[in-house]
Amino acid sequence: MSDTSPPAKPLKTWSYLSDSRRRPSEYEVVSVGLHYHTIEQDKPWELDPDIPLSNWYRKYRNQSPLRHDNWDAFRDPDQMIYRTYNIVQDGQENYVRGLFDQFNERGHDQMLESEWVECLAKSYTPCRYLFHTLQMGTAYIHQMAPASTITNCATYATADHLRWLTHTAYRTRELANAFPDKGFGEQERSLWEGDERWQGYRELMEKALTTWDWAESFTVISLVAKPAIEEAVLARFGDLALVNGDTLLGLLTQAQMRDAERHRRWASALVKMALETEGNIDVINRWLEKWVPLADAGIDGFCATFSSGGLEAAAKAKMAAAKFRTDLGLGAV
């Protein structure tokens, strides 16, 4: 018997965007609802539900204490997509490369004071290890996030942290060329592993990188560790560089802070969305109580070795990081 029912009316857009009464933006078309492994919660990867991968995602993503009925409703405030990210950051990299070239032509490094060069060897070039931990942390959030719109934001942050690392590596080589007897490019690992100024941050990040719950990982990386690192290592140390005549580093850290500001916008939007669900604020505040003291210790240890104003710099950095959280309505810890 033939089916005489009329053909289904074709959709005007993708089914997952059909509830909206407006035409979807390019951002929505290429960013929303891309995670097939969230369709079946008991079988995240459409494989045997008892394989280790499925167990991992059920435990550390699906069963996270931070809950929301529809994580796919999250939207990046900047509506960044791969195409626009490359356009924007190509401009950023052109600016940074221009800084490197111009200051090299001026003989910038040769004009630095000896005391500041010693400071750079101990407090700046080891940053590539610190930035790599941020890269790994946001890469894990990218992998575990319950919505593709969250994953995309974490992906771009991961790429930015890699850019910060490469900037530091480039400067390390330049400084090694200018000062071959100062240990640039040779002693950074031993400093990262043993120098007192780095041990607070190292403890924070090593523990953060073994935090498997996706939402706690987001909390420690985006709400605690990144602000602590950005406010001390980029903002305060960047200010110290300007005071010591290192205009190149001051401008470089300012450029990197533009990336950090965008990271904070999407993190803030995600927190705002999470706080719509009752009980989530208590979950996040418990995590903050656990992690903020480690971050503050990292700030204190790093700023303590400043040639001048270390205590004031640490206080400003901790205050700025705390303000970022309290402005989101989170506990003042």
Polymer length in residues for the chain: 333
Say which residues have a Cβ less than 8 Å from residue 183's Cβ, sequence separation at least 6. Answer: 121
* Mean pLDDT along residues 73-82: 96
The pLDDT tens digits for 221-252 are 999 999 999 999 999 999 999 999 999 999 99
Domains of the chain: 71-326 (1.10.620.20)
CA separation for the pair 322, 333 (Å, rounded): 7
* Mean pLDDT along residues 45-59: 90
Average pLDDT of the chain, as a whole number = 93
The pLDDT tens digits for 201-211 are 999 999 999 99
Q: What is the pLDDT of residue 44?
A: 85
Q: What is the pLDDT of residue 333?
A: 42
CA separation for the pair 330, 303 (Å, rounded): 26
CA separation for the pair 279, 256 (Å, rounded): 35
In this prediction the pTM is: 0.92
Give the pLDDT band of residue 10 (cuts 50, 70, 90).
low
Where do the DSSP E strands lie in the chain? none
- Tell me how far the alpha carbon of residue 194 is from its chain's centroid: 25
pLDDT greater than 50 at residue 106? yes
* Mean pLDDT along residues 110-120: 96
Structure tokens at 327: 């402005």
Q: What is the pLDDT of residue 5?
A: 65
Give the pLDDT band of residue 167 (cuts 50, 70, 90).
very high
Q: What is the pLDDT of residue 4?
A: 63
